[in-house]
């Protein structure tokens, strides 16, 4: 008989495993896995130094080399914050994400699609919540965001201290439906945060716009340091999760039980009950600020493509009403272009693509991978099996569906079922032996993509009409069905190598 989720948790605890329910239990699990956790008692400055250290230890992603994939890391001594710790890189490894979500690395996209299709809605708890063990109200003397929250800067050029992993939770003024997303949040003053809304790309931005039309502020909570399932689930986008879909329900499905929310103390909103920190506030209508108004560097922070983005003059303002946190809280952060972004953006994108193609042509798409080189957003590798002659050409239809599933996707590589889509050397092998540039490139010019790609601009190419417009491209590296017999890879004897490696 199959165990229930609760029985499995009890069994895991008895066997020495650490069921993950929040950031602290996630870190405890990582401690048990060789090579996945590191910590230090050497003091570090959160202003650029912390990220500078982790760049060498485990950032990976599109960070300028030298960098590498390495362990998650906890800094126990933070300059200027004697009671806080900072965790970084918790999700900066696909292997680590798989362990935290109790799933095989190659099946993460499929697992997330299953959970997005079978959501479990969050629940509100009454009474004391772990995130409210300590309360600081903005009307109290000495209240200062920068002193209460050890938000780092990634580089010396950043506009200011950034909260990079804040789960922003708000509700639509008309319908009351709620949503969670991650936004760029910069500390601007003692009780002010700037928040950047990518036009038309995030539901909370639409909620703020509607509140502004009504002349109202938008109550919002920012939960920092949460169960990694929440961080991964929050990065889904339309059409997989349309307006009105609460992505916290995906985390609920991943864990087999609802995410617990608590009532905020100073605004009419809810927050994640077991978060390490919660910032309560209101998005102000009719107010826009220059993101680097304090530093005047001209930059915001490093973004996922690997470049430092320009400071925006159109940031909205969150007027902070309170900061609450657990005793001895753990601040969680990430480096913008690191492998952490690849995990958070790429795995939900894989899920969205897999789900859309599977609905259209069941059994043909074997897997999807959004690799580090594309930051999890710009590039996808589709492993497609042509089962019959009539499947020829369907692989290209699958690529078109991938662009529909995730609008910010720029390049799709198509490979056969005998190519490991998670191994970029194998993908490039397919390109070198199963691809001809004059017949296997399909271009779709003049399509909206992502404004942070610096090549998506009229200055780069006269074919581009406006910033954020791109030429989407399909690289078909699959063998024509009629030629499959002549493209068989060399066969090796199947053996168990462990026999020869015992000593």
Strand 365-369 and strand 277-283: pairing?
unpaired
Nearest to 304 by CA among 465, 171, 184, 150: 184
**What is the 3 state secondary structure string of 391-407?**
HCCHHHHHHHHHHHHCC
Residue 177 CB-half CA count within 13 A: 14
Separation CA 95–CA 11 (nearest Å): 23
Sheet containing 72-75: order of strands: 37-40, 72-75, 85-88, 330-333
Encoding tokens for residue 389?
Answer: 């002659």
Q: Which residue in 237, 303, 339, 350 is the catalytic one?
A: 303
Torsion of CA 234, 225, 331, 176, to 10 degrees: 60
Residue 230 CB-half CA count within 13 A: 33
Burial of 54 (0-12, 13-18, 19+ CB in 10 A): buried
Look-up: residue for tokens 């300028």? Answer: 64
Burial of 207 (0-12, 13-18, 19+ CB in 10 A): buried
Nearest to 54 by CA among 302, 397, 402: 302
303 among known catalytic residues: yes
Separation CA 110–CA 371 (nearest Å): 16
Encoding tokens for residue 366?
Answer: 């074997």
SS3 491: coil
Look-up: residue for tokens 């946190």? Answer: 325
Separation CA 129–CA 106 (nearest Å): 36
Within 392-472, residue ranges assigned H as helices are 394-405, 424-433
CB atoms within 10 A of CB 437: 8
Q: Which residues are catalytic?
A: 303
């Amino acid at each position: 008989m199959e165990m229930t989720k609760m029985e499995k948790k009890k069994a895991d605890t008895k066997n020495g495993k650490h069921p993950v329910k929040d950031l602290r239990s996630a870190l405890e699990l990582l401690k048990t896995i060789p090579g996945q956790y590191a910590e230090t008692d050497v003091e570090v400055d959160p202003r650029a130094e912390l990220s500078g250290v982790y760049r060498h230890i485990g950032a990976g992603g599109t960070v300028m080399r030298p960098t590498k994939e390495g362990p998650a890391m906890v800094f126990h001594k933070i300059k200027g914050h004697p009671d806080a710790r900072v965790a970084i890189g918790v999700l900066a490894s696909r292997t680590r994400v798989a362990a935290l979500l109790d799933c095989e690395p190659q099946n993460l996209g499929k697992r997330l699609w299953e959970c997005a299709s079978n959501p479990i809605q969050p629940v509100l708890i009454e009474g004391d919540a772990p995130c409210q063990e300590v309360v600081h109200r903005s009307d109290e003397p000495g209240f200062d965001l920068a002193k209460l929250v050890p938000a780092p800067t990634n580089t010396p050029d950043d506009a200011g201290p950034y909260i990079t992993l804040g789960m922003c939770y708000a509700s639509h003024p008309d319908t009351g439906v709620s949503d969670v997303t991650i936004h760029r949040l910069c500390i601007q003053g003692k009780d002010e945060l700037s928040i950047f809304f990518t036009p038309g790309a995030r539901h909370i931005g639409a909620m703020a716009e509607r509140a502004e039309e009504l002349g109202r502020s938008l109550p919002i909570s920012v939960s920092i340091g949460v169960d990694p399932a929440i961080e991964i689930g929050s990065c889904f986008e339309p059409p997989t999760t349309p307006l009105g879909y609460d992505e916290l329900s995906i985390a609920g499905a991943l864990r087999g039980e609802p995410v617990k929310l608590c009532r905020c103390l100073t605004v009419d909103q809810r927050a994640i009950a077991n978060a390490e920190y919660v910032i309560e506030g209101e998005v102000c209508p009719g107010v826009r600020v220059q993101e680097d108004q304090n530093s005047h560097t001209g930059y915001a922070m490093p973004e996922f493509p690997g470049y430092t983005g320009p400071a925006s003059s159109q940031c909205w303002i969150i007027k902070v009403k309170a900061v609450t946190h657990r005793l001895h809280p753990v601040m969680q952060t990430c480096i913008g272009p690191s492998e952490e972004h690849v995990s958070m953006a790429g795995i939900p994108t894989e899920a969205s693509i897999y789900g859309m193609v599977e609905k259209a042509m069941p059994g043909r798409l074997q897997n999807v991978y959004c690799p580090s080189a594309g930051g999890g957003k710009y590039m996808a590798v589709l492993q497609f099996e042509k089962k019959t002659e009539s499947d020829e050409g369907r692989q290209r239809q699958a690529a078109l569906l991938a662009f529909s599933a995730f609008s910010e996707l720029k390049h799709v590589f198509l490979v056969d079922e005998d190519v490991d889509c998670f191994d970029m050397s194998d993908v490039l092998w397919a390109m070198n032996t199963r691809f001809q540039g004059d017949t296997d490139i399909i271009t779709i010019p003049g399509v909206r993509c992502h404004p942070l790609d610096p090549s998506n601009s009229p200055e780069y190419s006269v074919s581009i009409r406006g910033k954020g417009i791109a030429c989407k491209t399909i690289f078909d590296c699959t063998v024509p069905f009629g030629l499959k017999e002549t493209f068989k890879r060399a066969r090796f004897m199947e053996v168990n190598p462990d026999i020869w490696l015992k000593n």
